[in-house]
């Protein structure tokens, strides 16, 4: 497993993070197995959000920490806030109350990282800055970041927010590459040349932000996985060939493809399966060659100019 620095945290975090969106319904034993499997595989990063399971995903982890308090110092907990029923809310009042709710459900006194969950068009940077300042000074949040934001939205935040934005969580997989496509097709009159995100990957690299990828095995916005998908026969053939070469699963290669991008990369998994968690962790020890990386990109149906 590889580990990277994350903001001001003295704790280095695993390049594979355990996404907790689907753990809301777990019983105590299953949840304990999920967490211990991740830790045994070298995964120390757990990603949450206050909307996951209506808060129940955080409660599941909270019950584990209440039972074994010593685990808290071994793990890095990130959560997100800002999505409400039918709208987004980055007001100071809501951010502060949301974090208090998150901490209560997690049964911890601090978050290692807090992300603003998707952009709020009515965002007032002054209010976000005030909320962040109060949370940091109270010791409730140690690092701040965003999710699904483009460069100008982050620049707007920075006009008032003084704490570094240390990461941006965005959707990316070998079968979902709009953030890469435009860079290959500059000044071409074709659909892949359209820059839909303001060069967010390059922006994050320039500012040394962690790029967290969600839905790393998905085709689109929760439309299913590309693994064993007949619509991605060439991609699966290439994944299996590399999996055989490296002695791992095809899913491991798909994660390794994301980690090969030369930014400060972190993959957030969505699996609750211990077996698949272990497969994901193996990607942290694989570095694909340039040729292998491009072969997978092309096999996903992309053409290079």
Q: Report the residue count for the chain.
A: 305
Q: Would you call 8 helix, strand, or coil by DSSP?
A: coil
Give the residue carrying structure tokens 């319904």.
Answer: 25
Task: Judge contact between 132 and 160, C-beta under 8 A.
Answer: no
Give, as one character, the DSSP assignment of residue 221. Answer: S
Break the chain down into helix, strand, coil percent, rounded to 5.
45, 20, 35
Residues paired with 103 in a beta bridge? none
Tokens representing 151? 């460069």
CA distances from 107 to 138, 169, 218 (A): 16, 24, 32
Of the candidates 3, 52, 203, 221, the residue annotated as catalytic is 52
**3-class SS string, 10-34:** CCCEECEEEECCCCCCCCHHHHHHH
Clarify whether 297 is annotated catalytic. no
CA pair distance 212, 188, nearest whole angstrom? 29
Please give the positions annotated as active site: 52
């Amino acid at each position: 497993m590889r580990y990277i620095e994350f903001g001001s945290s003295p704790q280095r975090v695993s390049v594979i993070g355990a996404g907790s969106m689907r753990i809301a319904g777990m019983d105590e034993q299953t949840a304990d197995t999920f967490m211990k499997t991740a830790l045994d595989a070298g995964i120390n990063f757990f990603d949450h959000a206050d909307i996951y399971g209506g808060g129940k995903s955080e409660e599941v982890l909270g019950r584990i920490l209440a039972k074994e308090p010593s685990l808290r110092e071994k793990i890095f907990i990130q959560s997100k806030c800002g999505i409400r029923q039918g709208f987004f809310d980055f007001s100071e009042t809501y951010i502060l109350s949301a974090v208090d709710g998150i901490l209560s459900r997690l049964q911890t006194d601090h978050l290692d990282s807090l992300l603003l969950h998707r952009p709020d068009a009515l965002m007032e940077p002054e209010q976000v800055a005030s909320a962040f300042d109060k949370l940091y000074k109270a010791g409730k949040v140690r690092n701040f970041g965003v999710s699904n934001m483009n460069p100008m939205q982050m620049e707007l935040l920075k006009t008032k927010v003084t704490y570094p934005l240390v990461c941006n969580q965005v959707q990316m997989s070998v079968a979902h590459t709009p953030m890469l496509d435009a860079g290959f097709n500059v000044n071409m009159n074709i659909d892949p040349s359209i820059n839909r995100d303001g060069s967010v990957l390059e922006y994050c690299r320039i500012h040394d932000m962690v790029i967290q990828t969600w839905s790393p095995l998905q085709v689109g916005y929760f439309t299913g996985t590309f693994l064993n998908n007949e619509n991605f026969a060439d991609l699966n053939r290439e994944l299996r060939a590399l999996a055989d070469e490296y002695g791992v699963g095809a899913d491991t290669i798909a994660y390794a493809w994301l980690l090969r991008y030369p930014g400060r990369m972190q993959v957030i998994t969505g699996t609750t399966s211990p077996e698949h968690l272990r497969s994901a962790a193996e990607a942290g020890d694989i570095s694909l060659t340039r040729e292998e990386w491009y072969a997978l990109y092309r096999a996903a149906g992309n053409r290079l100019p």
